[in-house]
């Protein structure tokens, strides 16, 4: 009898151990104040950005910097296309230094413009032409001057980056590097017209007269 019971007892002990281990695993993996669920890692890479609400007034020239931030990446080339709101902004090539690229020593680049391309009027390329490739430092990569038009009221005119073609970065290993592009805007402040406020007039308060 003992010979027949021993395998059964061993199986029961094994099952109990498995269930206990599984319960511990479930408790360990379940979210709790002592075991919080970790958020997915956020990709931080090279970045091009344009400031939001750059101040300006109607019928003026506004300066729009395109800022490069490496965020720890070794970037040797950048290709981007700037798109702006043509309802309120205009690129005028006759404006002195209408496009300026701030290129470190050894880097090459240039910009072209096509005012009929409503998805990206200004296309720019910056690169280090030969190996070993050098890293682009942080700073204002380009400075673009735009004319503001004459909106009827204060507006934020978008100045951003085209998605056709999208912004692209190349690292010092000759490979594509994922990154980010952050759009900005130009705030065209239209002065409000002061309206004449009627001047309050003094009213006479009747003086009580003594009763007869």
Q: d(Cα 184, Cα 62) in Å, to the nearest integer? A: 13
Per-residue pLDDT averaged across 111-133, rounded? Answer: 91
Tell me, what's the pLDDT at 9? 43
Q: d(Cα 86, Cα 118) in Å, to the nearest integer? A: 8
Residue 194: pLDDT band by 50, 70, 90 thresholds? low
- 180 beta partners: 47
Tell me, what's the pLDDT at 104? 95
With beta carbons less than 8 A apart as the criterion, state whether 185 and 156 touch.
yes
pLDDT for 26-78, tens place per residue? 333 444 333 333 333 336 899 999 999 999 999 999 999 999 999 999 999 99
Read off the DSSP letter of residue 176: E
Angstrom distances, CA of residue 37 to CA of 41, 44, 164, 185: 12, 21, 38, 37
Tell me, what's the pLDDT at 108? 97
Angle at 35 (CA atoms; ends 31, 40), nearest 5 degrees:
75
With beta carbons less than 8 A apart as the criterion, state whether 101 and 68 touch.
no
Tell me, what's the pLDDT at 132? 95
Tell me, what's the pLDDT at 7? 44
Tell me, what's the pLDDT at 43? 61
pLDDT for 136-181, tens place per residue? 999 999 999 999 999 999 999 999 999 988 999 999 999 999 999 9
Per cent of the chain over pLDDT 70 is 71
Query: 158: helix, coil or strand?
Result: strand
Residue 195: pLDDT band by 50, 70, 90 thresholds? low
Q: d(Cα 167, Cα 120) in Å, to the nearest integer? A: 11
Q: d(Cα 172, Cα 167) in Å, to the nearest integer? A: 17
Asked if pLDDT for residue 197 goes beyond 80, the answer is no
**Mean pLDDT across the chain, nearest whole number?**
79
Could you tell me the pTM of the whole model? 0.70
Asked if pLDDT for residue 19 goes beyond 90, the answer is no
Angle at 158 (CA atoms; ends 111, 72), nearest 5 degrees:
60
- 176 beta partners: 170
User: 105: cis peptide before it, omega within 30°?
Assistant: no
Tell me, what's the pLDDT at 64? 98
Nearest of 17, 11, 28, 46 to residue 177 by alpha carbon: 46
Read off the DSSP letter of residue 100: E
């Amino acid at each position: 009898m003992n010979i027949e019971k021993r395998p059964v007892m061993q199986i029961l002990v094994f099952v109990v151990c498995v269930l206990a281990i599984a319960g511990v695993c479930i408790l360990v993996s379940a979210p709790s104040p002592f075991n919080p669920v970790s958020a997915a890692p956020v990709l931080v890479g090279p970045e091009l950005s344009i400031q939001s609400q750059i101040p300006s007034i109607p019928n003026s020239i506004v300066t729009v910097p395109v800022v490069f931030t490496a965020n720890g990446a070794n970037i040797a080339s950048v290709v981007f296309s700037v798109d702006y709101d043509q309802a309120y902004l205009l690129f005028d090539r006759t404006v002195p230094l209408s496009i300026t690229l701030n290129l470190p020593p050894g880097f090459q680049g240039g910009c072209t413009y096509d005012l009929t391309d409503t998805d990206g009027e200004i296309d720019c390329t910056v690169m280090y032409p030969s190996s070993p490739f050098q890293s682009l430092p942080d700073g204002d990569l380009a400075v673009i001057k735009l004319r503001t038009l004459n909106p009827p009221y204060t507006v934020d005119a978008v100045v951003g980056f085209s998605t056709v073609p999208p912004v692209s970065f190349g690292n010092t290993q000759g490979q594509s590097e994922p990154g980010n592009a952050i759009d900005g805007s130009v705030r065209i402040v239209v002065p409000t017209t002061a309206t004449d406020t009627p001047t309050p007039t003094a009213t006479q308060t009747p003086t009580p007269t003594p009763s007869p």
